[in-house]
């Protein structure tokens, strides 16, 4: 199966499975899992934070960050398109009693500081207390400029806000910018990383932050049922993902550019409005093309795409090579 729906479909490779099978493990709820401890210690140092926490998912890592930074009745400012506003089942509001204050994202994925400043509530009992700014990088495949991140840090210091990064795909941003990850992470009070997307681990995310923040997050993780026992089996996969699968993200980006240019040549497909920056390709599919039927024809050829979005989204990852893209393009040509 060639699967373009997301980079979450990546399969752990043989050497990762081998490391998992042989991982030294213990009960992580007692703090006894050597592989979890090694990953958390290494990841904190590698990304320039005091501490790290392994979590079940990116959604959980974001929720822990929001709940550790904010108390009931506090508020976080985020993008209207932010994953931790739009796609996480309202967790911060439901479970944390934290009010989101979404701001329309600018076309480049950033949030305007003027709009954020206008949304920050004065210290007055009528209002929720504005505590945190949450950014996302990459957002919809777009990379936030480093100069913007530096301005966000200054802005948050001026307004006494904490600054969080939903960095589910932050390594795609670092690879696209050709910078070390610390050039991005250094601006933030906390950051999440998904190990289970383009980096190729089967399960898990990391939350990075100060010792105090992570110890608060560890308590909330337990409360949410996220205390896992011999989780070192997953941690070794995460460690391999972060140490072996970062540089190759450049191939995914090159393949995404190639995919966009090949789709653009097809009748009824247009990618020109969505310049590719990382591994996510957006495409307008003409109304005259029956999406459902095309998807089914492709399925018969063991190609999975999701064409229902407007625009539709295709994602490249380690289990898609250039020849797979040629296979997709040929199959679309043959199907309509
Ligand atoms: C995928 C994703 C998440 C959530 O990760 P899960 O592991 O699927 O819960 C959070 N933020 C962004 C930007 C994502 O793309």
286 CA to centre of ligand 1 in angstroms:
29
The packing angle between helices 249-264 and 170-177, to 10°, is 80
Cα–Cα distance for residue pair 29/275, rounded to 1 Å:
45
Q: Return phi, psi of residue 240, to 5°.
A: -65, -40
Question: Cβ distance 175 to 183 under 8 Å?
Answer: no
Q: Residue 30 has what DSSP assignment?
A: G
Cα–Cα distance for residue pair 168/166, rounded to 1 Å:
6
Nearest CA to ligand 1 atom 4: 58
Nearest CA to ligand 1 atom 8: 58
58 CA to centre of ligand 1 in angstroms:
5
Per residue in 128-187, pLDDT (tens digit) is 999 999 999 999 999 999 999 999 999 999 999 999 999 999 999 999 999 999 999 999
Cα–Cα distance for residue pair 239/244, rounded to 1 Å:
8
Residue 49 structure tokens? 């934070």
Question: Cβ distance 100 to 74 under 8 Å?
Answer: no
9-244 under CATH 3.90.1150.10, yes or no: no
168 CA to centre of ligand 1 in angstroms:
5
Atom of ligand 1 nearest to the CA of 205: 7
Residue 240 is predicted with a pLDDT of 98
| Nearest by Cα to 317 from 56, 19, 11 | 11
For ligand 1, residues with CB inside 6 Å are 57-59, 62, 83, 136, 166, 168-169, 194, 196, 205
122 CA to centre of ligand 1 in angstroms:
32
Determine what percent of the chain is predicted with pLDDT higher than 90.
99
Atom of ligand 1 nearest to the CA of 82: 13
Cα–Cα distance for residue pair 104/310, rounded to 1 Å:
18
195 CA to centre of ligand 1 in angstroms:
10
Residue 306 is predicted with a pLDDT of 96
Predicted model pTM: 0.97
Question: Cβ distance 54 to 33 under 8 Å?
Answer: no
Which residues have a Cβ under 8 Å from the Cβ of 79 and sit 6 or more positions away?
A: 85, 102, 103, 104, 105, 109, 111, 135, 136, 139
84 CA to centre of ligand 1 in angstroms:
8
Nearest CA to ligand 1 atom 5: 58
Cα–Cα distance for residue pair 283/303, rounded to 1 Å:
17
Residue 191 is predicted with a pLDDT of 98
* Cis previous bond, 221, omega within 30: no
**Domain ranges across the chain:** 9-244, 248-335
Which CATH number applies to 248-335? Answer: 3.90.1150.10
Per residue in 251-264, pLDDT (tens digit) is 999 999 999 999 99
CA distances from 272 to 83, 284, 308 (A): 25, 9, 19
| Nearest by Cα to 237 from 37, 18, 41, 86 | 18
pLDDT one digit per residue (tens) for the chain, 336 residues: 999 999 999 999 999 999 999 999 999 999 999 999 999 999 999 999 999 999 999 999 999 999 999 999 999 999 999 999 999 999 999 999 999 999 999 999 999 999 999 999 999 999 999 999 999 999 999 999 999 999 999 999 999 999 999 999 999 999 999 999 999 999 999 999 999 999 999 999 999 999 999 999 999 999 999 999 999 999 999 999 999 999 999 999 999 999 999 999 999 999 999 999 999 999 999 999 999 999 999 999 999 999 999 999 999 999 999 999 999 999 999 987
The radius of gyration of the chain from alpha carbons, rounded to an integer in Å, stands at 21
């Amino acid at each position: 199966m060639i699967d373009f729906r997301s980079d979450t479909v990546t399969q752990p490779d043989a050497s990762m499975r081998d490391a998992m099978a042989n991982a030294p493990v213990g009960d992580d709820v007692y703090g006894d899992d050597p592989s979890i401890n090694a990953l958390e210690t290494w990841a904190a140092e590698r990304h320039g934070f005091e501490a790290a926490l392994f979590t079940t998912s990116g959604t959980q890592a974001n929720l822990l960050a929001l709940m550790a930074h904010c108390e009931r009745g506090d508020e976080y400012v985020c993008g209207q398109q932010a994953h931790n506003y739009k796609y996480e089942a309202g967790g911060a509001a439901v479970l944390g009693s934290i009010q989101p204050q979404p701001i329309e994202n600018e076309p480049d994925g950033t949030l305007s500081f003027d709009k954020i400043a206008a949304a920050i509530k004065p210290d007055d009992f009528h209002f929720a207390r504005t505590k945190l700014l949450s950014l996302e990088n990459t957002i919809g495949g777009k990379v936030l400029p480093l100069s913007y991140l530096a301005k966000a840090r200054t802005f948050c210091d001026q307004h006494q806000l904490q600054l969080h990064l939903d960095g589910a795909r932050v390594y795609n941003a670092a690879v696209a910018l050709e910078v070390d990850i610390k050039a991005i992470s250094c601006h933030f009070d906390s950051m999440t990383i998904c190990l289970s997307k383009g980096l190729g681990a089967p399960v898990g995310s990391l939350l990075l932050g100060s010792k105090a923040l992570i110890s608060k997050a560890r308590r909330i993780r337990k409360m949410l049922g996220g205390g896992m026992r011999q989780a070192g089996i997953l941690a070794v996969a995460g460690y391999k993902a972060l140490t072996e699968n970062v540089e190759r993200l450049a191939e995914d980006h090159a393949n995404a550019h190639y995919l966009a240019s090949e789709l653009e040549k097809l009748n009824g497909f247009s990618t020109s409005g969505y310049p590719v920056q990382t591994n996510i390709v957006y495409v307008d599919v003409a109304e005259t093309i029956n999406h459902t039927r095309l998807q089914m024809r492709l399925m018969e050829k063991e190609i999975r795409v999701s064409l229902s979005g407007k625009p539709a989204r295709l994602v490249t990852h380690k289990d898609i090579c250039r020849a797979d893209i040629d296979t997709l393009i040929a199959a679309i040509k043959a199907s309509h």
